[in-house]
């Protein structure tokens, strides 16, 4: 039997509406697992407060005071879901043998935890939770999300299809992840690069039971751009291909222009000219933008700014507090 102290890591951003219910359901689940000897009695639920503007942190502190099963990590400011998750994993990895990450809205079925833990005991280090269907998502969310995976794949960012950040990782897998020191960390793309034996668990994705999605379309698009530019250089390569094709076109146009010239019909062609100018201008700007994205990335990487700062880490049986617990 592999050692089995489980830490559930949950990023929370303005989640006061869902947090009490999430905590209650998870506690039930944890007690069940403890009773079944699937996990150690020292297991914990850790909420990562990602700079919420509501009472999320107060709630976490209160829960921690009442029950040592709950712990909390307070980030100094909002750093986004990926960084919050990373902060959680990096902070708890020295205490835990197993870490399961999930969203605070319990859209991911906590019933799948049993199967994840079973796979862990069979020697698997990374178990991805994969949605078997998206029945409860709105048509718009479903379409945009599916588009997202297709575009990502085409542009060279190969991620696990329909897997959000609901996954189990063993201690050594998280330690492996810690070796990826890039500042622009795109977890879903990087974790498959960590390697180690991995497997999948399928579950139905439920509805967010309260509150609003913290991932509107704008955030999703920027998330996709982040993912693509931090995982692959294919967009730059596509620009090169595009440039080459346009060059071929220009040779055709050159020949065509000469033919027209010698036929003495040089005035016509204003339309073609206008269209070409706009099209090529647009393409140049677009290409510059893509190259710029990468240069921006390089700029941020060279600065080596911390990905997150932990203001407070609530953890431990006697409510001991570790202030300024970490910076990474
Ligand atoms: N989240 C976060 N920081 C942010 C935005 C979201 O920690 O800046 C958390 C949020 O609290 C939730 C998870 O990320 O636990 C997923 O967010 P949400 O459920 O709103 O996304 P959706 O399920 O709609 O894609
Ligand atoms: Mg959600």
Q: For residues 248 and 170, what is the distance between their CA atoms, to the nearest angstrom?
A: 52
Structure confidence by residue, pLDDT tens digits, 183-233: 877 888 888 888 899 999 998 877 777 777 777 778 778 888 888 887 777
| Ligand 1 atom closest to 10 (CA) | 15
Q: For residues 114 and 314, what is the distance between their CA atoms, to the nearest angstrom?
A: 26
Neighbours of 282 (CB within 10 A): 10
In terms of domains, do 313 and 180 share one?
yes
- What residues sit around ligand 2, an ion, with C-beta below 5 angstroms? 103, 105, 107, 208
Give me the CATH number covering residue 317.
3.90.550.10
pTM of the predicted structure, to 2 decimals: 0.78
In a domain, residue 328? The reply is no
In terms of domains, do 113 and 251 share one?
no
Please state the domain count of the chain.
2
Residues with CB under 6 A from ligand 1: 11-13, 15, 50, 78, 80-81, 84, 103-105, 107, 208, 213-215
Strands 6-12 and 167-170: unpaired
Average pLDDT value for residue range 111-133: 91
In terms of domains, do 179 and 290 share one?
no
Q: What's residue 323's pLDDT?
A: 47
Residue nearest to atom 17 of ligand 1 (CA): 214
Q: What's residue 319's pLDDT?
A: 43
* Mean pLDDT, all residues of the chain: 85
Structure confidence by residue, pLDDT tens digits, 96-105: 999 999 999 8
pLDDT at 82 over 70: yes
In terms of domains, do 255 and 314 share one?
no
Residue tagged 């290409």 (tokens): 287
What range does the domain containing 264 cover? 234-303
Q: For residues 295 and 318, what is the distance between their CA atoms, to the nearest angstrom?
A: 48
User: Which of helix, strand or coil describes residue 106?
Assistant: coil
Q: What's residue 328's pLDDT?
A: 58
In terms of domains, do 166 and 239 share one?
no
């Amino acid at each position: 039997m592999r050692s089995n102290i489980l830490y559930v890591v949950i990023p929370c951003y303005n989640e006061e509406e869902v947090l009490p219910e999430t905590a209650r359901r998870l506690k039930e689940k944890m007690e069940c697992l403890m009773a079944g000897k699937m996990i150690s009695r020292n297991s914990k639920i850790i909420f990562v407060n990602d700079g919420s503007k509501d009472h999320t942190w107060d709630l976490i502190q209160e829960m921690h005071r009442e029950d040592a099963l709950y712990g909390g990590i307070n980030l100094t400011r909002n750093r986004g879901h990926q960084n919050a998750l990373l902060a959680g994993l990096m902070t708890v990895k020295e205490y835990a043998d197993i870490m399961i990450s999930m969203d605070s809205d319990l859209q991911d079925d906590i019933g799948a935890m049993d199967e994840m833990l079973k796979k862990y005991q069979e020697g698997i280090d990374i178990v991805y939770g994969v949605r078997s269907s998206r029945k409860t998502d709105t048509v718009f969310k479903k379409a945009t999300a599916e588009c997202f995976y297709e575009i990502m794949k085409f542009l060279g960012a190969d991620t696990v299809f329909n897997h959000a950040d609901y996954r189990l990782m063993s201690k050594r897998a998280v330690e492996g992840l810690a070796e990826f020191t890039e500042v622009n960390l795109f977890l879903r793309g990087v974790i498959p690069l960590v390697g180690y034996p991995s497997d999948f668990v399928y579950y139905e994705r439920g509805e967010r039971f309260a509150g609003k999605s913290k991932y509107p379309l704008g955030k999703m698009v920027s998330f996709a751009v982040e993912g693509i530019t931090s995982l692959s250089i294919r967009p730059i390569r596509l620009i090169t291909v595009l440039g080459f094709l346009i060059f071929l076109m220009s040779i055709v146009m050159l020949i065509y222009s000469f033919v027209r010239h010698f036929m003495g019909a040089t005035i016509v062609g204003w339309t073609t000219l206008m269209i070409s100018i706009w099209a090529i201008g647009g393409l140049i700007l677009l290409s510059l933008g893509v190259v710029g994205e990468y240069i921006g990335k390089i700029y941020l990487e060279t600065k080596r700014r911390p990905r997150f700062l932990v203001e407070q880490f609530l953890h431990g049986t006697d409510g001991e507090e570790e202030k300024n617990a970490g910076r990474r």
